[in-house]
Structure 1
Amino acid sequence: MTAPAPFSRRPLPAAFVDDMRALLGDRLHLGEAMRRQHGSSEAHFEPVLPDAVAFPHSTEEVAALVRLCLAAEIPVVPFGAGTSLEGNATPVRGGLTIDLGEMSRIVEVNAQDLDCTVEAGVRREQLNAHLRDQGLFFPIDPGANATIGGMASTRASGTNAVRYGTMRDAVLSLKVVTPEGTVVRTARRARKSAAGYDLTRLMIGAEGTLGIITEICLRLHGIPEAISSAVCPFDALAGAVDTVVQAIQMGVPVARIELLDAAQMRACNAYSKLDYPEQTTLLFEFHGSERHVEEQVATVRDLAAANGGGPFRWSNLPEERTRLWKARHEAYYAAMNQRPGAVGLTTDVCVPISRLADCILETRQDLDGCAVPATIVGHVGDGNFHVVFAIDPNAPEEMHAVEALNARLVARALSMDGSCTGEHGIGLGKQSFLVDELGDAVDMMRTIKRALDPKDLFNPGKIFQL
């Protein structure tokens, strides 16, 4: 498996540990078990353990910890739920991991303004359970029950992005602890502002390299009057992709369009105990008034039929829709279940919608010639899709083959004016691809990093190397 670059670890100074204990008491952990939990992730990278793990309960405690780390020149890595896929929270230089999971307070909900403010450790599902009685919901759904702070740090998106956008669109303002240990608020609650630099979006997707997000003000949406989900199998992968492209180009406001190829459907049926046809399949969800949903459904059903789609299988009841989307969210684990003991590597590219068919079909041809089991799944409504590889950890040649295929996939996406990552971020795994994609713009990112974090203590070694 790919391992982070080695570093020279030095013990934490005794005075530094004493100061942290005085601040946190038993919320500071030095034991190996807790450190191991925060040095591993769902990514394929080798674990690297932090030297200590802290669980603050307030922004002020985070700021105090950062000031202690700055004085002792100890690296700082913020941590949410640990569900990132590119080694985004791996503490490659050791130091202190700050786990924000116990900062899980919903600060306020402004129902009339359709916004809320939450602490960074609030989980996505927790927030929606709290909002439900007020007829509101937060639509960004990356699949995992991630923390809102982690979602903002990686600019997450997910299944609803085709209609509701990504975290870039959902966040109104942030409270951030800077590398100097000061606390800044990047904006107010107004829906738009032209006041200076857009610091909010500078921090969104920065993966904790420029600041630690401790509070987030979010846009909310009213729960739609009608929600309908449907599953439609296709004779061929090309027909499914063409249906997606045509629906988007016609302006049909579908809330979710997810594609699972035949291999992924076989895996989902086995893992989630489903009985859908084992063909390339689209999952749809439609939001709106009863009449509006009916119009959307009619349009998409006609498009699907013209492209070789089979009959729509409906999931209108909430429990049926929950089961359907739960199976989609478990696609990664379903793919791994095909090969017990496998290690997963999940790719992530995004291309303009007009090039989606070419990119997916060429990728599938590559995979058909690969000995490693692989499936395609994606949020194809916005041109974003993934390949999930199930790799034998005892066969290094498989990892080499998969890394070569991944590089080929990224090169293909970039040649189509796409991106090397639609939602996973750069982390450890995509740093060379970032340079391929943005060139000299990466030097501008380095300039910003050096200006805000001259000692390179905030999540060092991520996104790019200094």
Structure 2
Amino acid sequence: MNTLAPRPVDAVIAAAAEFLGERITRNDALRQQHARGEDTSTPTMPDAVAFVETTEEVSRVLKLCHEHGVAVTPFGAGTSLEGHVNPVRGGISLDLSKMTAILDVSGPDMDCLIEPGVTRNQLNDYLRAEGLFFPVDPGSHCTIGGMCATRASGTNAVRYGTIKENVLALEVVLADGTVINTGSRARKASNGYDLTRLMIGSEGTLGVITKIRLRLHGIPEATSAAVCQFPDLASAVNSVIEVLQMGIPVARIELLDEVQMAACIAFSKLEGYQPVPTLFLEFHGSEAGVQEQAELVEGITAGHGAAGFAWATDAEQRNKLWKARHDGYWAAIASKPGSRGIATDVCVPISRLAEALLGAKEDIVASGFSAPIVGHVGDGNFHTVILLEDDSQATLEAAWELDRKIVHRALALGGTCSGEHGVGLGKREFLEKEHGPEALAVMRSIKVALDPKGILNPGKIFRN
């Protein structure tokens, strides 16, 4: 009688069960939860989900998968928007969400050491008593390991930089189970290749991040926030450009078009605002510095026809305002009940922001889609959420065509196809156009050198 030969993944699961026990599972419900993130790509089930709790366990799982040639897809909170966590070749979904220890905080050095499953909110709750905070703020309830893997950004990037600028060092497990450390606690170094920056944004294709040394910042003496509304989108965008070119150190400057603002008013119960193009602003510093910054910005926006500042004067008001901004994606989805969204993500030089953003608006109107615009415009980054009201292939193709138009315009203006969401599955087609075949060949050679069997998050970044 013929019997099927055991699959390599079965050998990995059996061997991993010896040290993970029930934390490696073939449970269908858990496999379905790990089949995709928040994107619209087709879900693909892993053969098993492994819930790891230590660097040693990660190393042992990767060593087994390397030995047997089994794919490994790292998984944090599952909030990715470009298909990063889809296990397109099956294998093991490596869930790091149980690695949530805050291992060390140094007030004098203003840094900390954490595990990858720690979230931004969890870390800042812990740091508050130390008078410190971690500023990178993507908005979603994501893990910091995932933020490192996708080179995340957010509302504070204009003042504090992206995750790249706020990571000092990493502990990383390579494809064969080898554990390396990529840096030190020193604020600068001039030796060897910069492995920390190589791993930041590598989306789990070069190694699995198991510890993160973060740069922290002092909680500012004074914080103020304001909302400023405009008669049209061009006036709002041109205000942003002038504020930035004047060198005013705003902490956050976010733009919502009239469609997004209407959605946020309805979803977050924002009273007293109109559904018109709007800037959300925040200022950090000393009492005198914050007042000076705000007065300068208010003068600039008034010159572009703004209706004036509506101040959020206390922490509760500020938190409500920024929660509304962070809930923008869900507000957009709720504005068309039953719809789902494709989130776009481009970034351009500040001087080309008006062309990129207003051009995107024209493309949206011409397409017939409802697609609210929201952006971290302080660094030239903006998004649309293209709302799909049916599941037909024709609708999906038309939405992707709109996305391509927005991306191609950004590239033509000297920008990038992704300012913060990463590549994953969704942006692969744009990489060669942005970087050129020679640079892409170098990227591929790095991948082959560090992951010769191609087991780490296969199918991501490169199209084949």
TM-score by length of 2: 0.97
- What is aligned with 2:308? 311
Where 1:369 maps in the other structure, the secondary structure is helix
2:289 to 287, 292, 300: 292
2:369 to 372, 379, 383: 372
Aligned residues: 457
Deviations 1:299-340 (A, max 9, x none): 000000000111211112111111111110111111111111
Residue pair 1:372, 1:398 contacting (<8 A) in 2 also: no
2:428 matches 1:451 = no
Residue pair 1:103, 1:120 contacting (<8 A) in 2 also: yes
Residue pair 2:81, 2:421 contacting (<8 A) in 1 also: yes
How many Å apart are 1:239 and its aligned residue? 0.8
- What is aligned with 2:115? 119
- What is aligned with 2:420? 423
Deviations 1:135-180 (A, max 9, x none): 0000000001211100000000000000000011000000000011
Q: Quick one: which amino acid aligns to residue 158 of structure 2?
A: V
Deviations 1:216-260 (A, max 9, x none): 000000000000010010011111111111111111000000000
2:187 matches 1:153 = no
Which range moves more in the overlay, 26-35 or 133-142? 26-35
Using the alignment, how far apart are the partners of 2:29 and 2:390 within structure 1?
23
How many Å apart are 1:393 and its aligned residue? 3.5
Q: Quick one: which amino acid aligns to residue 446 of structure 1?
A: R
- What is aligned with 1:109? 105
Residue pair 1:48, 1:90 contacting (<8 A) in 2 also: yes
Using the alignment, how far apart are the partners of 1:22 and 1:254 within structure 2?
53
Q: Please show how residues 45-194 of structure 1 align to structure 2 within 5 Å.
A: 45-194=41-190
2:331 matches 1:334 = yes
- What is aligned with 2:343? 346
Q: Quick one: which amino acid aligns to residue 433 of structure 2?
A: D
Using the alignment, how far apart are the partners of 1:137 and 1:407 within structure 2?
37
Unaligned stretches of 5+ residues in structure 2: 1-5
Using the alignment, how far apart are the partners of 1:143 and 1:77 within structure 2?
23
- What is aligned with 2:3? none
How many Å apart are 1:101 and its aligned residue? 0.5
- What is aligned with 1:21? 17
2:235 to 239, 249, 260: 239
CA RMSD for the aligned pairs? 1.0
- What is aligned with 1:433? 430
Q: Quick one: which amino acid aligns to residue 358 of structure 1?
A: E
2:278 matches 1:281 = yes
Using the alignment, how far apart are the partners of 2:390 and 2:37 within structure 1?
16
Unaligned stretches of 5+ residues in structure 1: 1-9
Using the alignment, how far apart are the partners of 1:307 and 1:169 within structure 2?
33
Among all aligned residue pairs of Structure 1 and Structure 2, give the percentage whose two residues are the same amino acid. 53
Residue pair 1:86, 1:426 contacting (<8 A) in 2 also: yes
Evaluate the alpha carbon distance shift between residue 13 and residue 198 of structure 1 in structure 2; reply closer, same or farther with a 3 A threshold.
Answer: closer
Where 1:417 maps in the other structure, the secondary structure is coil
Where 1:189 maps in the other structure, the secondary structure is coil
2:257 matches 1:261 = yes
How many Å apart are 1:441 and its aligned residue? 0.6
Using the alignment, how far apart are the partners of 2:86 and 2:13 within structure 1?
21
Q: Quick one: which amino acid aligns to residue 455 of structure 2?
A: L
How many Å apart are 1:372 and its aligned residue? 1.7
Using the alignment, how far apart are the partners of 2:191 and 2:117 within structure 1?
28
How many Å apart are 1:387 and its aligned residue? 0.8
Q: Quick one: which amino acid aligns to residue 385 of structure 1?
A: F
Which range moves more in the overlay, 13-22 or 308-317? 13-22
How many Å apart are 1:12 and its aligned residue? 5.2
Residue pair 2:225, 2:311 contacting (<8 A) in 1 also: yes
TM-score by length of 1: 0.97
Using the alignment, how far apart are the partners of 1:63 and 1:372 within structure 2?
46
Q: Please show how residues 319-330 of structure 1 align to structure 2 within 5 Å.
A: 319-330=316-327
Using the alignment, how far apart are the partners of 2:425 and 2:390 within structure 1?
19
The ranges of structure 1 where at least 4 consecutive aligned residues each deviate by more than 4 angstroms after the TM superposition are 10-13
Using the alignment, how far apart are the partners of 2:99 and 2:320 within structure 1?
30
Where 1:374 maps in the other structure, the secondary structure is coil
How many Å apart are 1:395 and its aligned residue? 2.9
Where 1:193 maps in the other structure, the secondary structure is coil
Using the alignment, how far apart are the partners of 2:10 and 2:400 within structure 1?
42
Using the alignment, how far apart are the partners of 1:465 and 1:323 within structure 2?
41
- What is aligned with 1:7? none
Using the alignment, how far apart are the partners of 2:7 and 2:313 within structure 1?
57
Evaluate the alpha carbon distance shift between residue 13 and residue 442 of structure 1 in structure 2; reply closer, same or farther with a 3 A threshold.
Answer: closer
Where 2:155 maps in the other structure, the secondary structure is coil
Q: Quick one: which amino acid aligns to residue 249 of structure 2?
A: P
Deviations 1:109-151 (A, max 9, x none): 0110010010000011000000000000000000012111000
- What is aligned with 1:463? 461
Residue pair 1:12, 1:51 contacting (<8 A) in 2 also: no
Deviations 1:400-445 (A, max 9, x none): 1111111111110011110000000010011111111001211100
Q: Quick one: which amino acid aligns to residue 234 of structure 1?
A: F
Where 2:108 maps in the other structure, the secondary structure is helix
How many Å apart are 1:13 and its aligned residue? 4.4
Q: Quick one: which amino acid aligns to residue 356 of structure 1?
A: L
Where 1:295 maps in the other structure, the secondary structure is helix
Using the alignment, how far apart are the partners of 1:389 and 1:178 within structure 2?
37
Where 1:231 maps in the other structure, the secondary structure is strand
